[in-house]
Amino acid sequence: MQLTDFLNHHGITLDQIIAQIKTTLNLTPDDSLFVSGSVVEGLGNEKSDLDLFLVTSRQDIPLTSLDAVLLITGRCPVDVRVVQRSEVEQLLNRFNAWAKQARCPRNATGFSPDERKLLHQIRSGQAVCGAEYFRQLQDGIQLTDLVRHRLDCAQYLASTIQVDLAGLRSAGDQHSMLFAAQELLGLTVDALLAAYNHSNPDWKWRVRQLTDLTADWERKLPGRRSGMSARDLYLSLHSAPRRGNPNAILKHALRIAAFSRRVFPWAEYRLLSSNLPPLPSSQGGAEGGAGTGRTLPNLDLDVTVRYRHEKFEVLRLNGDGQIFCLSPNEYSLLCLFDGETTKEYALSAAGMTCKESGSEFLEEMLALIRYGDFEAQEILDEKALSTILRIEL
């Protein structure tokens, strides 16, 4: 629902709301008032609140909660959040200082969820009073920095969850693994959306943002295409195993980790090296590739790929294992190691990427995975093993 439709539904106008705010809050020429939130972005519905923000230096605002004023205009609830001008300016200064630093994803976590949301709200908002000052605020927040910040937050948190997943598997805590894997999926979707310039960091809009992606969203993404819309693939990956079988849960987590390896390095490449050509596709120009034939192994839960200085690196997040540099072609092929893609399909994809030696190219990647000990292992079912041993004896 767009802002105009929302106002029409409630039988009010923006001018009526502004007039009530001016009367109630005694706005001065130094105040800046802007509207933002889900309704402005077309994400809200008739039940949504209309979110307005008052940026002011005054301390005489008659607040009805800690930092907001709740008004009712007609039948429409209007939430006016009051933000001190000095706090907004300090936040923008901190954010721009972060943007100028050498990239380190962990540094992005220095901003609270509320601060991240406010930065997005300023960038996407519409001024209703004090437009000149508000324009200065908007000019101080670059969309490229906002989406990179969303990517960096997601990437750092995702890496910690991958380490946790490996630890939970070792501890035999498969039920916690299930929820950790789904958290990893949410962060992976954040990275995907950041690559498509969606800067709203609020998790509740992930599905709506995915719905906005075009039908060919997966065409430039490395790995085997699913043939699904972005939203449907997300829902498919989010579907948990019906039974708490340890290996079923492990397979669920490995599918999500494999999708994560497709998305994060690609999103980094897309946002940080937009001047370079798109990554080579290893998809053979068609969906499919999963079948009953011999499949490629799946990489382990804590195996990740990162993009650094125009190169890709594959490594384990746990321990002191070796880091291997990959070319764009090698990274694209590595994304097929998901435990589901058939070797026949991978050979075809490798042949298209490296036409003269597709088979050799694939064997080199298999050798690297063996040498780096990157392959995932099934969870040992000790009870079933004891039963088998008793039968054999």
Which residue bears the tokens 């705010």?
A: 21
Structure tokens at 261: 């390896």
Q: How confident is the model at residue 388 (pLDDT cuts 50, 70, 90)?
A: very low
| Residue 65 confidence (pLDDT) | 79
As annotated, the residues of the chain forming the CATH 3.30.460.10 domain(s) are: 3-141
- Residue 181 in this model has a pLDDT that exceeds 50: yes
pLDDT, greater one: 257 or 355 = 257
Structure tokens at 93: 């200064």
Q: Are residues 267 and 193 in contact, defined by beta-carbon separation less than 8 angstroms?
A: no
Tell how many helices (H) and how many strands (E) occur in the chain: 14, 8
Say if residues 226 and 289 touch (Cβ distance below 8 Å).
Answer: no
Judge contact between 72 and 78, C-beta under 8 A.
yes
Beta bridge partners of 126: 35
CATH class of 3-141: alpha beta
Q: How confident is the model at residue 119 (pLDDT cuts 50, 70, 90)?
A: very high
For position 393, what pLDDT does the model report? Answer: 47
pLDDT band, very low/low/confident/very high, at 387 (cuts 50, 70, 90): low
Instruction: Please give the Cα distance from 57 to 39 (Å, whole number).
Output: 27
Strands 50-56, 311-316: pairing is unpaired
With bands split at pLDDT 50, 70 and 90, how would you rate the model's confidence at 172?
very high
Which stretches within 47-173 are classed as H helix?
Answer: 85-100, 113-124, 131-139, 143-171
Report whether 270 contacts 193 (CB < 8 A): no
**If pLDDT is split at 50, 70 and 90, which confidence band does 47 have?**
confident
Tell me, what DSSP letter sits at residue 110?
G
The token pair that represents 46 in the structure block: 């008739």
What is the bridge-based pairing of β-strands 32-36 and 50-56?
antiparallel
pLDDT band at 39 (very low <50, low <70, confident <90, very high): confident
Least-confidence region, from 167-171, 236-240, 272-276: 272-276
Quick one: pLDDT band at residue 384, thresholds 50, 70, 90? Answer: very low
> Residue 32 CB: number of other CB atoms within 10 A?
24
pLDDT at 130: 94
Check pLDDT > 60 for residue 93.
yes
Q: Point out the least confidently predicted range of 2-11, 53-62, 178-187.
A: 2-11
Counting residues of the chain whose pLDDT is more than 90, the rounded percentage is 65
pLDDT band at 285 (very low <50, low <70, confident <90, very high): very low
Structure tokens at 129: 């009073």
| Residue 77 pLDDT grade (very low, low, confident, very high; cuts 50, 70, 90) | confident
Query: Which of 108, 169, 106, 183 has the alpha carbon at shortest distance from 302?
Result: 169
- Residue 263 pLDDT > 80: yes
Q: What is the pLDDT of residue 315?
A: 96
Residue 215: predicted pLDDT:
93
Mean pLDDT score, 111-131: 96
Task: Please name the residue ranges forming H helices in the chain.
Answer: 3-10, 14-25, 85-100, 113-124, 131-139, 143-171, 174-195, 206-211, 230-238, 246-272, 328-334, 343-353, 358-372, 382-392
The answer, yes or no, to whether residue 301 has pLDDT greater than 90, is yes
